[in-house]
Structure 1
Amino acid sequence: MPEPTAASAHVIDLHSHSTASDGEFPAAEVAARAAAGGLAVWALCDHDSIAALPAGAEAAAAHGLRFVPGIELSVHLERREVHLLGHFVDPASKALRGFEDLLAEKRRVRMGEIIQKLAGLGIPLRPEQVERFSGGKTLGRPHVARALVEGGHAATVREAFDRYLGEGRPAYVGRYRLPAEEAIRMVHAAGGTATIAHPGVNRLERGELARLAEAGLDGIEIYHCDHNPSVRGKYLRCAAELGLVPTAGSDYHGPTITPDRTFGSVTMSAAELEALESRRP
């Protein structure tokens, strides 16, 4: 599929983040940037949080965007972490709000453990130095990474992960493990559809996707900034074989955090969006 330019009409992007999780900008600013990038349909999918969805919906309406309320869940398939996108979810879902509160507390405990490990490496960080980068209650490693950059302990967010925060690095702390099948059920219970995010990044194979399809998976995020044409082709074949809907997402976080992921860089067809929406419970 050819890449759209920023001026392209009818661009559909179902994956972006705000300061409610690890994005650079509040939901209103993300909406403005989505509109400037030529989007017609925009989804906000903060990590483990639906807190910014009301603000996102209001801002989308102001910019003439169709808004798709979403969430991105960190889930586990066997022993490894993958990401699951929920689209068309109910922002008032009690199940998602309860899960968000549970995860927020677990993330706060994890953050304290990461700060302790960094202190053991001679890097003093206070919780407030990390929390200032979060616009909500969802704290994650990207917030620590930005604090490390601000403190001169790393040149970039990527370097902070490579040196300290990535899996196997000295300040890494594992997170709460939500089974992928349970996450799919939770998204469906909230009225949404479940899509596996950027499978090429996680190197998911057909057998793993087939297992998720059996558990009720609805789509695969194929048109992603980190997927080259051969990767897209591989997953398009998987989607066709497994009866899953191909989706598109820039995975926009903001230029400081992910400078290579921009609005207008990927899209999907209106027919694919309709097919995904038709799978809502």
Structure 2
Amino acid sequence: MNIVDLHVHSTVSDGTMTPKQVVHYAKEKGLRALALTDHDTIDGLEEAFMAGKTFSIEVIPGIELAAEYKDVELHILGYYVDLHDSAFLHQLDHWKKAREHRNEKMIVKLNQLGFPITLKDLKNLSKGNVITRAHYGKWFLQNGYVKSISEAFQKYIGADCPGYVRRQLPTPKECISMIKEGKGIPVLAHPFLYSFSDQELSAVLKQLKQEGLRGIEVMHSTHTLHQEKTLRHLAHHYGLLMTGGSDFHGTNKPDIDIGVGKGNLQIPYKMVESLKKESSF
């Protein structure tokens, strides 16, 4: 099969499969290639590369960075990033520390609400990897405060909830520049999750293209056929590469499966070929 998935998460951020397990699972599902795009980290890529050799499946180095655009959190995917670029790694470490500071504030807020969560609890749940709100949700579930992780988000840790602390995020331009400095290809993730109108999205893409954006995720588990058609039109209009991914997180998003999303995806290998032509990897 020439089917791929260019948006996949592992336990290194907020997925529930290790990088090796994700790669093995992708092979079992018949995928030809996948991109591991964990949040704010590339720590799982070496394991994924080794698994790719073991299971004979192509692994594309990736990352997903969060940025703030006019009070909206945008996500920028980076493909074919250089794992050994010192400036890229230094900036990642800086943003990791900002995330840790946010965790400290969230723990204080939740403690004040009567929940005895600790940083040690979260580190145990994340197994030393990036701590995300999914780990908070898992703590709430394991300690009997909620019946599902989604309930934890709805009641306590989602945006505007009592235990939520907003992250201090870089701008999209800073994320794009960082990815490009790391020899990667910056792509806007899941554009229709930001609640932009078609006109607003077009304006955002125009600005981000001027700032160095090279692609747009036209195929995603949450996109309708009409939305995908709109994104393909915008990609052609602004001269952007087209990518696609399920946004697989394992059991943290049980309705989304690798490669097929909610059953609506069939992402062609030609999208990988387009990225390769753009890349210096």
Place the TM-score, normalised by the shorter chain, in its bin. Answer: over 0.9
Match in the other structure for 2:153: 161
Question: Residue 225 of structure 2 is aligned with which of 226, 229, 250?
Answer: 229
Question: Residue 59 of structure 1 is aligned with which of 25, 45, 51?
Answer: 51
> Do structure 1's residue 252 and structure 2's residue 248 form an aligned pair?
yes
- Distance between the aligned counterparts of 2:149 and 2:166, measured in 1? 19
Greater share of residues in helix: 2
Q: Pairwise mapping of residues 156-195 of structure 1 onto structure 2 (< 5 A)?
A: 156-195=148-187
Q: Pairwise mapping of residues 25-36 of structure 1 onto structure 2 (< 5 A)?
A: 25-36=17-28
User: How far 1:110 sits from its partner (Å)?
Assistant: 1.3
The amino acid across from 2:241 in the alignment is: V
Q: Which runs of 5+ in 2 are unaligned?
A: none
- Distance between the aligned counterparts of 1:101 and 1:182, measured in 2? 15
User: How far 1:99 sits from its partner (Å)?
Assistant: 2.1
Match in the other structure for 1:96: 88
Report if aligned partners of 1:104, 1:137 keep a CA contact under 8 Å in 2: no
Q: Alpha-carbon deviations, 1:118-154, whole Å to 9, x = none?
A: 1122211122221122134421211111111111112
> Do structure 1's residue 45 and structure 2's residue 37 form an aligned pair?
yes
Match in the other structure for 1:278: 277
The alignment partner of 2:35 has SS state of: strand
The alignment partner of 1:20 has SS state of: coil
Report if aligned partners of 1:206, 1:238 keep a CA contact under 8 Å in 2: yes
User: How far 1:104 sits from its partner (Å)?
Assistant: 2.2
The amino acid across from 1:276 in the alignment is: L
Match in the other structure for 1:116: 108
Q: Pairwise mapping of residues 193-208 of structure 1 onto structure 2 (< 5 A)?
A: 193-204=185-196, 205-208=201-204
- Distance between the aligned counterparts of 1:97 and 1:176, measured in 2? 19
- Distance between the aligned counterparts of 2:126 and 2:89, measured in 1? 18
- Between 1:211-220 and 1:104-113, the stretch displaced more is 104-113
Report if aligned partners of 1:26, 1:135 keep a CA contact under 8 Å in 2: no
In the comparison of the two structures, how many residue pairs are matched? 272
The amino acid across from 2:32 in the alignment is: A
Question: Residue 77 of structure 2 is aligned with which of 77, 82, 85?
Answer: 85
Question: Residue 17 of structure 1 is aligned with which of 9, 14, 34?
Answer: 9
Aligned CA-pair RMSD: 1.4
Report if aligned partners of 1:249, 1:267 keep a CA contact under 8 Å in 2: no
Q: Which runs of 5+ in 1 are unaligned?
A: 1-8
User: How far 1:272 sits from its partner (Å)?
Assistant: 2.7
> Do structure 1's residue 269 and structure 2's residue 261 form an aligned pair?
no
- Distance between the aligned counterparts of 1:47 and 1:275, measured in 2? 23
- Distance between the aligned counterparts of 2:204 and 2:49, measured in 1? 34
User: How far 1:96 sits from its partner (Å)?
Assistant: 2.6
TM-score (norm 2): 0.93
Q: Alpha-carbon deviations, 1:69-102, whole Å to 9, x = none?
A: 0000001123221000000111112123212222
